[in-house]
Amino acid sequence: MYSMTTRVRYSEGDSDGILTIPALINYLQDCAIFHSEDVGFGVQYMLDQNTAWVLGSWQIDIEEMPHFGERLEIQSYPYRFRRFMGCRGYIVRSADEDKEYARANSVWSYIDLGEMKPKTAPDEMVAAYGLDRQLDMDYSSKKITVPEGVEGVVKPSITITDSHIDTNDHVNNGIYVQFASEYIVESAGNEAQIKRIRAEYKSPSYKGDVITPVVYFYDDTLLVTFQLAGNSTTDGTGNNVHLKGDKKDDKKILTSVEFSLKK
């Protein structure tokens, strides 16, 4: 198990001082990256090798979100490596271990960025990470699909800029969750709380790309899909357009983010 400690900063809270979802995602991502740094396979190593661990999916189960000023421990548990695939679990808890806030699971692929193909992770890297236990969670499918017949609303497109790009030269995984979280209040109201986040990342997007969100709300679930603007249906004016879920449309989706909500 690898861990890091942090404190909820003022800049990471919402209007009530509660940690935001994008900030929580950053904690998880940073914990994995610092683990890589500390065992000698960090960002510079990846840049030199032209490789990267690319996220395929998230599942984050939330008990409660911490508040401004709270001291936290983020724990990461790498528990499975098979050729190019790696899996990590996470626990977010108070630094005194008195309270657990969230558990998460993630699936990653080791990618040759030159070929944009999976590559077997080096044995010495896997050994340096070590193997830990798989956390007890109610695991959901890593695949996210739009239910057939559920109506979605096409939102104004988003142009990818420098601020969305990470060292792998594509949109950082947390940015999609940030984009998607903007639709929670308008879809479910101010009182909605997130109990689970799932995300599936199919294809990367890059600086200059224009992506279109489509928002689906059903059964206390908010699902936001993102696809390149040329593959979406709009009326050319930026107005909302209603679509219905269709299996064939899943092939056009770059990324899907799903929030399971409670009130």
Q: Are residues 119 and 157 in the same domain?
A: no
Domain presence at residue 145: no
Query: Considering its fold, how many domains does the chain have in total?
Result: 2
Q: Are residues 181 and 74 in the same domain?
A: no
Q: Are residues 212 and 116 in the same domain?
A: no
Q: Are residues 116 and 172 in the same domain?
A: no
Q: Distance (Å, rounded) from C-alpha 142 to C-alpha 203?
A: 15
Q: Are residues 78 and 186 in the same domain?
A: no
Q: Distance (Å, rounded) from C-alpha 188 to C-alpha 220?
A: 8
Domain presence at residue 135: no
Q: Are residues 102 and 164 in the same domain?
A: no
Its domain, for residue 61, covers 2-129
| Cα angle 255, 112, 26; round to 5 | 45
From first to last of its 263 residues, what are the pLDDT tens digits of the chain? 999 999 999 999 999 999 999 999 999 999 999 999 999 999 999 999 999 999 999 999 999 999 999 999 999 999 999 999 999 999 999 998 789 999 999 999 999 988 889 999 999 999 999 999 999 999 999 999 998 888 899 999 999 999 998 888 889 889 999 999 999 988 877 778 899 999 999 988 889 999 999 999 998 999 999 998 865 444 333 444 444 545 445 558 899 999 999 86
Q: Are residues 178 and 81 in the same domain?
A: no
Q: Are residues 86 and 198 in the same domain?
A: no
DSSP assignment of 11-80 equals: GGB-TTSBBPHHHHHHHHHHHHHHHHHHTT-SHHHHHHHTEEEEEEEEEEEES---BTT-EEEEEEEEEE
Q: Distance (Å, rounded) from C-alpha 26 to C-alpha 31?
A: 8
Q: Are residues 101 and 211 in the same domain?
A: no
Domain at 236, CATH number? 3.10.129.10
pTM over 0.85: yes
Domain presence at residue 144: no
